[in-house]
A = this chain, B = another copy of it.
């Protein structure tokens, strides 16, 4: 049976939960489109997150890899278009490291585009009634670190395996007393990730639909 690897992060930045893991752990061992979903928790650390990711990939030999993380402040599930070759940490990671303008892979290209059908995934999540957008940046922190590294690794080691990243809003319970902070219920995040995974498994060529930004 085919395997799909979906990763999420542990809490960071003083939070006690991470909405990505709260949703992803509910998907572990789910069967979708003839594939088994395997959930994997990554530490919010530059470097060590990649060790755990690559171990999971090599153990599971998945059909596709979808990484996820928290994007506190965003209103929608956002499907990332690109990972870029830079670490520039606004805050320290969970091990206290805060790289500034360091390339992730010194000789690597400046960026990789996600290889999942990102437009079809956004359309499917919206079809499920949940706000979704294409994002043109995954930032320069551990999320982007994992996205770039995942795409770099797959490109060289197993180019037939597709990969990408989905950013998830705060959970309602994370922002109960913070005015003006959008959130999304874990039930809706789970439904969004299911729709995204089903679409990624069943879509060979992405659809042609605008998802751009003027700036």
A86 touches B81 (CB 8 A): yes
A214 lies within 8 A of B91 (CB): yes
Number of copies: 4
Docked pose: A76 CA to B170 CA in angstroms? 13
Instruction: Name the B residues within 8 Å of A182 (CB-CB).
Output: 75, 182-183
A180 touches B75 (CB 8 A): yes
- Scan residues 59-88 of chain A and give those whose CB is less than 8 A from a CB of chain B: 69-76, 81-82, 84, 86-88
Q: Is A158 an interface residue (CB 8 A)?
A: no
A104 an interface residue at 8 Å Cβ cutoff?
no
Chain A interface size, as a band, is 35 or more
User: Complex: how many Å from CA A138 to CA B213?
Assistant: 8
Q: Which residues of B contact A138 (CB under 8 A)?
A: 215
Cβ contacts A to B, 14 pairs, < 8 Å? A69-B215, A75-B175, A87-B212, A88-B212, A98-B210, A101-B208, A110-B111, A126-B177, A131-B176, A136-B137, A138-B215, A182-B182, A185-B185, A187-B187
* Given A75-B181, A82-B110, A101-B208, 5 other A-B residues pairs in contact with their CB atoms under 8 A: A90-B213, A91-B214, A100-B212, A126-B177, A137-B213
